[in-house]
């Protein structure tokens, strides 16, 4: 499927540059999507589809990747252009405004959970669980059959995390030993099978190596500025710990993330505002 088309966006705010809309025009070579179809425009707007990464379903790593809102115009507008090969089809019964966050935060955390290798019944610790990404990560983890340890600060976030399905909430503001508390919250005391690092600070990245289970995985998603991920080589080798970064998902990951939402398993709060209020929205985000 080749070609570009403009789509009319119904989603002025999604927490990034992504959005969902209705196809109003399409390129003459486009055959898989029709006028009037509902589609989503993701962070990854396009890729070459011919390089080593694209051929192995790692399109986000394509050297020629096009990024929505960065290297091509984003969806904070009435119409936008998107590569036909990279838009995601959205079922007609799914509200475009409600699904918009899935096209950004949802796909990102879903991909991170897949990269962690955690299997149904196993435990994942989500660091930064009370934020926007963390809230969606908990919902996806629960829908995937994972047990959740939520880590964040404050009682209000703790209540929210438990409502989202976390079995345990650890308040780092009250804990005097995060490593001990996380390990003790697992049934056998050996720690979680995977750790999803979403927090916007460096300290949790260094703590995770202390409480992740042997042969477990640590997946970095958050991007605290000027931070480093450090781990003792001896402990990492002898305990066979995997440390990796996770970027946004490929086209299949996007379709799967949307399907979870379409089945009613994922929800995200949102507020509709006119495009004329976009400047105010950016101020609120800051």
The model's pTM = 0.91
203 falls within a domain: yes
Parent domain of 122: 106-245
For residues 15 and 77, state if they share a domain. Answer: yes
Which pLDDT score, from 0 to 100, does residue 82 have? 87
251 falls within a domain: no
Sign of CA dihedral 21, 140, 165, 200: negative
124 falls within a domain: yes
* Tens digit of each residue's pLDDT (9 = 90 or more) over 138-156: 999 999 999 999 999 999 9
For residues 146 and 224, state if they share a domain. Answer: yes
CATH number, domain of 121, equals: 3.40.50.720
For residues 99 and 145, state if they share a domain. Answer: no
Q: How many domains does the chain have?
A: 2
- Measured in degrees and rounded to the nearest 5, phi and psi for residue 198 equal -115, -10
For residues 11 and 124, state if they share a domain. Answer: no
DSSP code for 198: -
For residues 97 and 111, state if they share a domain. Answer: no
- How far apart, in whole angstroms, are the C-alpha atoms of residue 240 and residue 236? 6
For residues 86 and 159, state if they share a domain. Answer: no
For residues 36 and 131, state if they share a domain. Answer: no
Which pLDDT score, from 0 to 100, does residue 17 have? 65
List of the chain residues with pLDDT < 70 = 1-17, 286
């Amino acid at each position: 499927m080749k070609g570009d088309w403009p789509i009319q966006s119904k989603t002025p705010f999604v927490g990034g540059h992504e959005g969902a809309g209705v196809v109003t025009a399409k390129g003459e070579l486009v055959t898989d999507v029709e006028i009037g179809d509902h589609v989503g425009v993701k962070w990854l707007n396009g890729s070459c589809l011919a390089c080593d990464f694209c051929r192995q379903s790692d399109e986000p790593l394509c050297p020629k990747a096009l990024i929505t809102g960065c290297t091509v115009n984003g969806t904070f507008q009435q119409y936008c252009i998107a590569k036909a090969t990279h838009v995601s089809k959205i079922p007609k019964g799914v509200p475009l405004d409600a699904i918009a966050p899935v096209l950004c935060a949802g796909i990102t955390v879903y991909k991170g959970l897949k990269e962690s290798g955690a299997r149904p019944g196993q435990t994942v610790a989500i660091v930064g669980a009370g934020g926007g990404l963390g809230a969606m990560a908990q919902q996806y983890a629960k829908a995937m059959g994972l047990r959740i340890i939520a880590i964040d600060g404050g009682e209000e976030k703790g209540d929210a995390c438990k409502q989202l399905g976390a079995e345990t909430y650890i308040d780092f503001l009250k804990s005097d030993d995060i490593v001990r508390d996380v390990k003790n919250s697992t049934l056998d005391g050996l720690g979680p099978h995977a750790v999803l690092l979403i927090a916007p600070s460096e300290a949790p990245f260094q703590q995770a190596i202390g409480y992740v289970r042997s042969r477990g995985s640590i997946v970095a998603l958050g991007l605290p500025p000027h931070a480093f991920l450090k781990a003792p080589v001896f402990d990492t080798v002898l305990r066979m710990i995997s440390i990796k970064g996770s970027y946004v998902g490929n086209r299949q990951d996007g379709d799967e993330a949307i399907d979870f939402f379409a089945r009613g398993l994922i929800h995200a709060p949102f507020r509709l505002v006119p495009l004329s209020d976009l400047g105010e929205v950016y101020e609120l985000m800051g």
